[in-house]
């Protein structure tokens, strides 16, 4: 239950900070990434302290080296949490963590059926929430890429209308014509006089 509380609480705090004026936290994917990063930091750390023995016991007997598997998954969760914090690596980190959630689900089923963990239905519901959050980050990135940019406020390019094109061409022609028109001699002389030092 602690991971779910962490995900929801941190996401809500970041959304509130964005609504209060923190521009970088205003887009919802940023808040979700922050919540996921906090959650996977928590779950990754407990692979090495506190609940390590419990996690080793959750590994199905058919899999070899349970302690090594717990260590590897802990490292991957911490690496994914770090990757979520940078927008360029966030979709890759979210995709990797989604795959990791699916790969680790049999261990959750084994622990639930053995009675050593959260019952199966609540555990499955929580895993679906975690999976939905990671997939949402990946899906948002994919939609943004198809739109042509990943910056807040980005608007895809559109072809100029006929009136805009005619207006731009008119302005350009006037600028060229003005540049090629010789300056009157009176104007040159008056500027020359202005540059001469005056005798007082």
Q: What is the pLDDT of residues 78-106, one digit of tens each?
A: 999 999 999 889 999 999 999 999 998 88
Crossing angle for the helix pair 28-45 and 2-19, to the nearest 10 degrees: 150
Are 136 and 32 a contacting pair, CB within 8 Å? yes
Would residue 155 count as lying in a domain? Answer: no
Would residue 105 count as lying in a domain? Answer: yes
Domain encompassing residue 65: 2-147
Note whether 137 and 188 are same-domain residues.
no
Note whether 96 and 190 are same-domain residues.
no
Helices (H), 20-161: 28-45, 52-58, 66-83, 90-114, 120-147
Residue 195 binned pLDDT confidence (cut-offs 50, 70, 90): low
C-alpha torsion angle, residues 187, 192, 193, 197 (rounded to 10): 160
Residue 36 binned pLDDT confidence (cut-offs 50, 70, 90): very high
User: Does 6 or 108 have the greater pLDDT score?
Assistant: 6
Number of domains within the chain: 2
Note whether 116 and 173 are same-domain residues.
no
Q: Cα 26–28–29 angle (5° rounding)?
A: 115
């Amino acid at each position: 239950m602690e991971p779910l509380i962490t995900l929801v609480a941190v996401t809500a705090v970041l959304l509130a900070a964005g609504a209060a004026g923190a521009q970088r936290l205003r887009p919802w994917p940023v808040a979700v990434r922050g919540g996921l990063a906090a959650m996977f930091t928590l779950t990754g750390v407990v692979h090495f302290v506190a609940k390590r023995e419990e996690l080793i016991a959750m590994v199905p007997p058919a899999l070899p080296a349970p302690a090594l598997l717990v260590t590897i998954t802990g490292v991957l969760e911490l690496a994914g949490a770090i990757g979520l914090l940078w927008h360029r690596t966030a979709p890759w980190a979210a995709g990797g963590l989604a795959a990791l959630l699916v790969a680790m689900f049999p261990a959750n089923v084994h622990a639930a059926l053995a009675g050593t963990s959260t019952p199966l239905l609540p555990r499955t519901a929580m895993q679906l929430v975690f999976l939905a959050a990671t997939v949402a980050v990946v899906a948002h990135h994919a939609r943004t890429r198809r739109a042509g940019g990943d910056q807040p406020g980005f608007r895809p390019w559109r072809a100029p209308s006929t009136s805009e094109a005619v207006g731009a061409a008119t302005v350009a022609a006037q600028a060229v014509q003005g540049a090629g028109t010789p300056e009157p001699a009176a104007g040159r002389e008056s500027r020359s006089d202005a540059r001469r030092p005056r005798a007082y």
